[in-house]
Chains A and B, each alone.
Chain A
C-alpha cells in the first residue's frame, strides 16, 4: 500500500525542461496510467518515481515519507521495463531471485516467493531456462514475475506491452489486469502511449502533454468530459471528429468535437450533406468516412454492417447534446 503524492515536480536535463511542474496524487491500491504522445514526459515521470532520475525540484512522498533522495531499492518499488531487461546470463529463477538475494533473504523465503510468483504467471516450467530460450511474451511475464517477487508497494510499468505482437499484447494486458485484481495491496503506475491500454487497464488516467498534466480522471470521465481538445482527441478510437469554421460558429464555438458514434445517418434538420469517401466494415461496426466540405472527412460509426459506396451522397446529423464545444484555446465551453 502506498499513497503517492507529487508536489510541483520538475525535471530538467541541462537546459531542457522535461517535466514542468506536476502535481498529482495516486491513491493506494490504485491503477494509474500515464498516457500521452511520445516526448510528453510520461516515461521521465515514471523514472522519477522509480528513482532512476533525480528530481530537479518539487516534493515526492510515498505514504507521507519524502523520497526525493531515496535510492530506488529503498522505495519499495518494482519496475517492469519495455525491453524486459532480464539478466541474460541468469536463469528465470535467478532473475527473479536476484533482488531478494541482494537483500540477503533466506534461501527458503526466496524459493517460496519465486515459486508463488511463477505459479501466478504460469512460468513454473521455465524456471530453469535462460531468457534467450523464451518467447517475447514469456520474457515479459518473467519480468513481471521479477517485480512481483520484490513484493513492492508500488509497481511501475514502462510500456511493457509495446514490444509484443498484437495478440500477445491483448493476452498480457489481461494478465496485468488480473494481477491488479489479485494484488489489491499494490499501487500500480503504468506508462503507455496507447490509449486503448489506458482505457482498459486504468482506475484513473493521467494525460500528459509537454511535461504538464492535461487531465486526470477515470477513463469514462476523460471520454465523456474531456477538459481540453487535446484530451478529447487523444482518448477514444476512432479519433473524435473536430470541425471548425462555419459549422462550429453555428454552435457558438471555435471548434466542435463529436465522437463517431454520436453521429447518425439522417435527413433531419441541421444535418450535414456530403458524400462517402470510404467505408471500413469491421463486422460489428462500420466506419464511414464522409466528406462534408470541412477539410478532414468526418468519421461516422454505424452498428452492424451497412454498405456504402464511395461517392455516394449521404446526410449525417450529430446528436445535439453529445457535441463538445471548444474555445480558441482548446478549452471546453460550458453551456
Chain B
C-alpha cells in the first residue's frame, strides 16, 4: 500500500516534469541561444557556458528594431483598449437589454470569429486601402480589433449575464443611467474578466504575423513578429540566429511581465457579499 502510494506520487511528479520540460524547453533554448555568439551558435549545449550580450546589442542598436518594438506596444495597447471599450458596451446591451434578434446577433458574432484570417485578407486589404490607413499602425489596430472582438464580446457577455440583476436594479433606483451602471457598478466587478480577455487580446495582437506582414510595407511601421522574420544577416545565405533569438526574448518579456502583474488582479469572488448566495 505504502509502496503503491510512493509510486503513484513519483509517477505524478514525473509526468509533471515531462510536461514542464516539453513546454518550457523551446523557450529555454531560445534564451540560451540568445546569449551565444559566433560559432558557438551552432554547437548544441544545454547549459549556459559563456554569456555574451552581443546579440542584444546588435538587435537593439542596429536597424529599426526599437522602433518596431514601440510599434508593437502601441498597436497592442490601443487594440486592447479599443476592444475592451467596444466589448464592454456591446456586452452590456447583449446581456442586459432585451431586444429582438439578440440570440441571432450573438451567434453571428461567434460565427465571424470562425473565419480564418486568410479568408478575409483580400477583402480587408481592399477596405484598408479604401479608408486610407494602409501602412499605418491603424491598419493593424483596425484588423486586430475586428478579430479580437468576437471572443471578447462573448466572454464579457457571459460574465455580465452572471452579475446579479438586483445590483443593476438597485443602481437604477439610486438614479444611475446605463453609462454609470457600466462604469461605476459593473466595471469594478468585471476586473477578472477584463484582465483575462484584455491579456488574451494583447497577446493576440502582439504575436500576430499575417496581417502585420500584409498591411505594412516599410521598416518604420512594422511590428516585431514581422521584423524578426525579416531580420537578415550579413549575406543572403546567413540567418542571424543569435539576433533572432535575442529579439524573440525581448519580445516575450513584456508578455511575461504583464501576466505576472495582472495575475494578482485575476482574483475570483469579487462579487462576494453583494447579494445572497
Contact = CB atoms under 8 A, between A and B. Distances in A.
Given A52-B169, A102-B180, A85 B274 contact: yes
B272 interface: yes
B276 A163 contact: yes
Interface string A131-150: 11110100100000010001
Interface stretch (B39-47, B171-179, B228-236, B251-259): B171-179
A207 B237 CA distance: 90
A89 B184 CA distance: 10
B189 interface: yes
Contact of A88 (B169, B172, B176, B274): B274
Nearest to A163: B276
Interface residues of B, number: 23
A130 B269 CA distance: 13
A84 interface: yes
Interface string A80-121: 011111111100000000110011000000000000000000
A9 interface: no
B273 A81 contact: no
Contact of B167 (A50, A77, A85, A102): A85
A72 interface: yes
A85 B170 CA distance: 6
Nearest to A52: B169
Nearest to B277: A83
Contact of B185 (A73, A87, A139): A87
Contact of B273 (A77, A99, A131): A131
Nearest to B191: A89
Contacts of B274: 84-88, 131-132
Interface residues of A, number: 31
Interface string B102-145: 00000000000000000000000000000000000000000000
B7 interface: no
Nearest to A73: B175
A258 interface: no
Interface string B53-76: 000000000000000000000000
A256 interface: no
A103 B175 contact: yes
A150 B171 CA distance: 12
Contacts of A50: 173
A132 B273 contact: yes
B205 to A, nearest CB: 29
A50 B166 CA distance: 13
B175 A88 contact: no
B276 A78 contact: no
A79 interface: yes
Nearest to B273: A132
Given A102-B175, A102-B180, A88 B166 contact: no
13 contacts: A50-B173, A52-B169, A73-B176, A77-B173, A81-B169, A85-B169, A86-B170, A88-B271, A89-B189, A98-B174, A99-B173, A102-B176, A163-B276
A-B pairs, top 9 by smallest CB distance, nearest first, are A132-B273, A73-B175, A88-B274, A85-B166, A131-B273, A99-B174, A83-B275, A89-B188, A85-B170
